[in-house]
Structure 1
Amino acid sequence: MSESPLFEVELYVFEGTSGSFRLTPHEFDVEIGGERYERCPLERSALALGAEAAKSALELTLPPDHALVRHLLQATLIGEATAVRLRIARRDAWGDAWWLSGTRWMGRVLGVEVADDAARIRCESAQVSLKRIGLRRLYSRACSHVLYSAACGATPISASAEVIRSEGRQVELASLPPEVAGMLAGGWLQTPAGARHMIVSESTAGVELLYPVGLAPQTPVDLVAGCDHSVSTCAARFDNLANYGGFPFIPSKNPFSTGVF
């Protein structure tokens, strides 16, 4: 005979360098060992059964304005990894005390997709990650570091501005701060709520974003400079050539097709 859902609940733990979240998809908060798992309208994809359960991918769906979504979007921009654990808690039949009975799934966040009605978090199992070849960096001329990440080490260049109006992907600003003028392509616009929107290009009137956004007039925003991952930009804009992650001196002549001499 199956147990009542009230005696078994799922708990989600999201942990990264800059913060952690503890959520439960049920209609009540769960407190275990002094840690509170807050209720959240969160749904997950089905997990595989048997030996394949731990290897299966996990897709989570939750409201697009949830604090976890904003946190993961910011973590993605700086290259921060976020671990995910799906745990099970049970409650004693004779009391209200909850206790952890095990871990059903664990892995890491791969990415976040935000739509008008929902946000989807794609997660990868830890077993899949462990089976990959250790070296993941690309051997390329351009730098492969995520801008402003720990590997990059560059100091962010930013300035404040005020929105006059926004229409689709175009955001018109009262003035373009000289501190970041000519540097915004590849950077982002950050709202007072902490949401970040990638900047595709800039003009004297404002910036063009990757996705449409609605911003009210007189909204203060932060503009953060971007990078084209070239040697010249790394040196001139950020004075960060010591951490450059590309290989600009890869020989352009292929000895197998042109000969060594």
Structure 2
Amino acid sequence: MSAPDWLQGAVTTMALCWRLERPDGITIGLTAHDRDLAIDGLRYRAAPGMTPSAIRRTDGLDGDSMDASGPLSGEAIREADLLAGRWDGARIQVFAVDWASPKVPLLLGEGTLGAVETGDGGFTAELRGAAAALERPVVEETSPTCRARLGDRRCRVAMAGRRQFARVLAVAGRVVTLDRSEPTADAYGSGVLRWFGGSNAGLETAVAASAGATVTLERIPPMPVEAGTLVELVEGCDERLETCANRFGNAANFRGEPYLPGIDLLTRYPGA
């Protein structure tokens, strides 16, 4: 593919741009140019401090990669949002454009946001290309516990009635007290708490255990929580065959091998 006309002159008018789309749909544009640019209906804000590393692209199976670093801007990318996980898995496009007439962008790379490091008022982010999906295992490994997720197409447990909304009464570290009690003992253990209000709105936190009107989260909420915040609780499963059979009546769809001998079989000896 030949280079665009605006790259072939003695003096180029090239600007690098980043388009970032979060899983919740929020999309922003950044450019290394010293002025804002409007491209395809999206305003790319000037971020002259944004500096990309060399972009490595191959025709093999190795994943394309690139790092980008820049200052944390209150209007674009905030440190609190990065630490809260709002940018985890965000879709990214990196392209060059003629800033004098930004109509035909030259795509340089695209993928998802990988590892992010913050410090000294700035951040460094890794771009993982589409070929990075080839790094995942091709087949599943055997396991004594279920490998399906409660309610997915392999589990097939109907989730209707296994969710409920509640309001927060108090928060103490990882323990959240709600205005509603669980339907059964530890119903929300290994489940999910989704935040529908307050500064954590749009995020979800894994639940370690539940008891009555309290749930213990896997980690402390990233943002302060106010009393009265609306949350949604999604029932969980500890992925054991006993739970699948007794609590959900779903042993026929259990996706594990609870009776398959493990590596400890090799260490046994007569009379043990």
Tell whether the 8 Å contact from 2:96 to 2:105 is kept in structure 1 after alignment. yes
SS at match of 2:131: helix
Match of 2:228 in 1: 218
Q: 1:246 to 1:258 in 2, by over 3 A?
A: same
Deviation string for 1:85-142 (max 9, x for gaps)? 423141363xx4422212x223345578999x99987653333433x47524221111
Matched, 1:135 2:135: no
Tell whether the 8 Å contact from 1:138 to 1:144 is kept in structure 2 after alignment. no
Q: CA RMSD in A?
A: 4.3
Structure-2-length-normalised TM-score: 0.65
Match of 2:190 in 1: 186
Q: 1:190 to 1:234 in 2, by over 3 A?
A: same
Match of 1:195 in 2: 203
What is the letter of the counterpart of residue 191 of structure 1? W
Q: How many residues align?
A: 237
Q: Distance in 2 between matches of 1:40 and 1:144?
A: 45
What is the letter of the counterpart of residue 195 of structure 2? T
Q: 1:59 to 1:199 in 2, by over 3 A?
A: farther
Runs (5+) with no aligned partner, structure 1: 74-81
Q: Distance in 1 between matches of 2:99 and 2:151?
A: 48
Q: 1:119 to 1:206 in 2, by over 3 A?
A: farther
Q: Distance in 1 between matches of 2:255 and 2:146?
A: 4
- Structure number with bigger Rg: 2
Deviation of the 1:44 alpha carbon: 7.4
What is the letter of the counterpart of residue 216 of structure 2? E
Q: Distance in 1 between matches of 2:244 and 2:193?
A: 21
Deviation string for 1:126-167 (max 9, x for gaps)? 33433x475242211112234444544443321122211112
Match of 1:77 in 2: none
Match of 1:12 in 2: 19
Match of 1:25 in 2: 30
SS at match of 1:234: helix
What is the letter of the counterpart of residue 9 of structure 1? L
Match of 1:145 in 2: 148
Give the percent of matched residue pairs that are identical in Structure 1 and Structure 2: 21
